[in-house]
């Protein structure tokens, strides 16, 4: 009698983008996968709120770096386009200032250059095109040795530049801040302010973040897509992909501890249930592990991220209402009058700014005229990552809301809510994502070594791996997805080294499906 060998058991803790990607890759390689999500549904920071019977994206609102998701689906024998309907945005964002001026950025560079000529000057339009070339060059230098690499180092990054070596590394623009670099390309201070906002995509300040992060502008200019049904349609599709390969996904399953001796042994839920595990992939905020929230052994296995380096949090409002004054685009940014003062408040005083920059997403403007009735709106301002510290009172929240709506009005826009908005504060984010303090992007980046110093998938505890926005390659849905793929590849390699037989594959590569481990469902 031949007894079939049991598949290795992998438990994924956390159902955000990183955890879902890890579940897909481990399951398609033949592991027995259980994903545990403490919330009512998967998605993590990709989430929706319900207002007036309608769902509104209350986290990330668009998809970039589409190749990341196409690779995830292709390696699992599927096609992204068959599971998620994506619409490319021709207007990347509409920007407004309190002097009454507005400027659109387009997916087409030449269209943006023409708009900048009308808005500012021909010199600034030329500067914009030079900036595009500069940021594209940075992206091309880092995408292989950093973004697509599971364990990047300064040596491999510099080595990838070939004969140029360290002198060539200066082209990465890591030796100065984003704000300083932007002065080389733009004479109009409003344009400098506009492109500096990309630092906040990484939860950082443009006055501290290395100019390397200007590559985020290139990533957006290379393509932005809005999924039909919101970003949650993407995470639901990835969850279904994992299920088709045999993964079990359990929501409302809160983890109490990761049990270990000389290696990981099991995951214990708050319900008392114990799940034996040959490998555990933790896809939450790394500070939760380091803080001992899941046990002493996992805490010793990772470094404690300093609270002083937490990334930005946010105050958000989800509402339905009528917007007037000027036509909204899908993405809209309404700027404060003093950017330096805004970030001094956020980063130095760790306080809500007196006058914030305001982001407004209008999902019903995706491809046509606004609805005749109330439209859905998502409003966000940056906030310090001090969730759970008791400083955020009802008075603070009301003052922030008044300041936010003052900026909206001064930029020539009006909003009349049809019902009270759904408000989310840093305290709420801290409660939803334990250990984070409300920080939404892991650790703020203040230099190239910060980015290279992010933890990679393996930890000091055998069998424990990490993924998510607080580990390499960083924050954002595409980056977190890549981190999950790196964690899955590292975990499966570790399982193979201990005698398990799994299909060999690398993140972003190809795999050969075994007849004995064909996807189910």
Q: Over its length of 521 residues, how does the chain's per-residue pLDDT go in tens digits?
A: 433 468 999 999 999 999 999 999 999 999 999 999 999 999 999 999 999 999 999 999 999 999 999 999 999 999 999 999 999 999 999 999 999 999 999 999 999 999 999 999 999 999 999 999 999 999 999 898 888 988 877 666 666 665 455 555 667 888 899 999 999 999 999 999 999 999 999 899 999 999 999 999 999 999 999 999 999 999 999 999 999 999 999 999 999 999 999 999 999 999 999 999 999 999 999 999 999 999 999 999 999 888 878 999 999 999 999 999 999 999 999 999 999 999 999 999 999 999 999 999 999 988 767 777 789 999 999 999 999 999 999 999 999 999 999 999 999 999 999 999 999 999 999 999 999 999 999 888 877 666 667 899 999 999 999 999 999 999 999 999 999 999 999 999 999 988 887 875 444 433 323 222 222 23
* pTM summary value: 0.93
Same domain, 217 and 275: no
What is the rounded distance in angstroms from the CA atom of residue 521 to the CA atom of residue 249?
A: 14
Classify residue 370: in a domain, yes or no.
Answer: yes
**Pick from 24, 506, 22: nearest CA to 282:** 22
Same domain, 317 and 396: yes
Same domain, 412 and 447: no
Same domain, 316 and 419: yes
Classify residue 437: in a domain, yes or no.
Answer: no
As for how many domains the chain has, the answer is 3
Same domain, 20 and 38: yes
What is the rounded distance in angstroms from the CA atom of residue 513 to the CA atom of residue 500?
A: 16
Determine the 3-state secondary structure of 113 from DSSP.
Answer: helix
Classify residue 114: in a domain, yes or no.
Answer: no
Please write down the long-range contacts of 298-306, taking CB distance under 8 Å and 24 or more positions apart. Answer: 298/258, 298/260, 298/459, 298/461, 298/464, 300/460, 300/461, 301/459, 301/460, 301/461, 301/464, 302/455, 302/459, 302/460, 302/466, 303/455, 305/442, 305/443, 305/470
The domain that contains 447 carries what CATH number?
A: 3.50.50.60
Classify residue 55: in a domain, yes or no.
Answer: no
Classify residue 91: in a domain, yes or no.
Answer: no
For residue 194, give its domain range.
128-222
Tokens of residue 501, six digits: 């037989």
Same domain, 301 and 447: yes
Radius of gyration in angstroms for the set of CA atoms belonging to the chain, rounded to a whole number: 23
Same domain, 326 and 419: yes
């Amino acid at each position: 009698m031949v007894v079939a060998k049991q598949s290795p058991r992998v438990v994924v803790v956390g159902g955000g983008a990183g955890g879902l990607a890890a579940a897909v890759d481990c399951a398609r390689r033949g592991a027995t996968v259980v994903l545990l999500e403490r919330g009512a549904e998967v998605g993590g920071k990709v989430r929706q709120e319900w207002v007036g019977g309608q769902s509104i994206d209350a986290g990330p609102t668009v998809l970039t770096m589409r190749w990341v998701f196409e690779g995830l689906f292709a390696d699992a024998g599927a096609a992204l386009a068959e599971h998620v309907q994506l619409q490319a945005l021709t207007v990347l964002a509409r920007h407004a200032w309190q002097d009454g001026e507005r400027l659109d950025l387009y997916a087409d560079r030449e269209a943006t250059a023409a708009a900048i000529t009308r808005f500012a000057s021909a010199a600034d339009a030329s500067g914009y095109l030079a900036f595009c070339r500069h940021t594209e060059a940075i992206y091309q230098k880092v995408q292989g040795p950093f973004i697509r690499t599971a364990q990047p180092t300064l040596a491999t990054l510099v080595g990838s530049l070939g004969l140029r070596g360290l002198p060539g590394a200066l082209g990465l623009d890591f030796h100065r801040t984003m704000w300083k670099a932007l002065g080389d390309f733009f004479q109009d201070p409003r344009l400098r302010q506009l492109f500096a906002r990309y630092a906040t995509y990484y939860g950082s300040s443009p006055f501290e973040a290395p100019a390397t992060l200007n590559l985020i502008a290139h990533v957006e200019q290379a393509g932005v897509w809005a999924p039909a049904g919101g970003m949650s349609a993407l995470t639901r599709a990835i969850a279904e992909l994992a299920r088709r390969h045999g993964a079990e996904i359990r929501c409302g399953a809160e983890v109490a501890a990761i049990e270990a001796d000389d290696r990981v042994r099991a995951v214990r839920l708050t319900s008392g249930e114990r799940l034996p595990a040959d490998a555990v992939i933790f896809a939450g905020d790394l500070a939760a592990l380091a803080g001992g929230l899941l046990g002493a052994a996992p805490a010793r296995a990772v470094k404690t991220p300093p609270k002083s380096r937490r990334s930005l949090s946010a105050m958000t409002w989800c509402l339905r209402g009528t917007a007037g004054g000027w036509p909204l685009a899908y993405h809209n940014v309404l700027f404060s009058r003093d950017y330096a003062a805004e970030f001094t408040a956020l980063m130095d005083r760790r306080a809500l700014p007196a006058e914030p920059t305001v982001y407004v997403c209008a999902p019903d403007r995706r491809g046509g005229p606004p609805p005749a009735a109330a439209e859905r709106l998502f409003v966000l301002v940056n906030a310090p990552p001090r969730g759970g510290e008791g400083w955020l009172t009802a008075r603070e929240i009301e003052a922030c809301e008044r300041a936010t709506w003052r900026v909206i009005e001064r930029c020539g826009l009006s909003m009349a809510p049809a019902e009270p908005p759904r408000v989310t504060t840093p305290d709420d984010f801290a409660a939803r994502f334990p250990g984070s303090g409300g920080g939404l992007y892991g650790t703020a980046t203040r230099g190239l070594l910060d980015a290279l110093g992010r933890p990679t998938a393996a930890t000091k505890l055998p069998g424990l791996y990490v993924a998510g926005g607080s580990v390499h390659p960083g924050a954002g849905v595409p980056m977190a997805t890549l981190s999950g793929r790196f964690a899955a590849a590292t975990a499966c390699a570790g399982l193979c080294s201990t005698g398990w037989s799994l299909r060999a594959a690398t993140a972003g590569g190809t795999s050969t499906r075994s007849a004995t481990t064909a996807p189910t469902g």
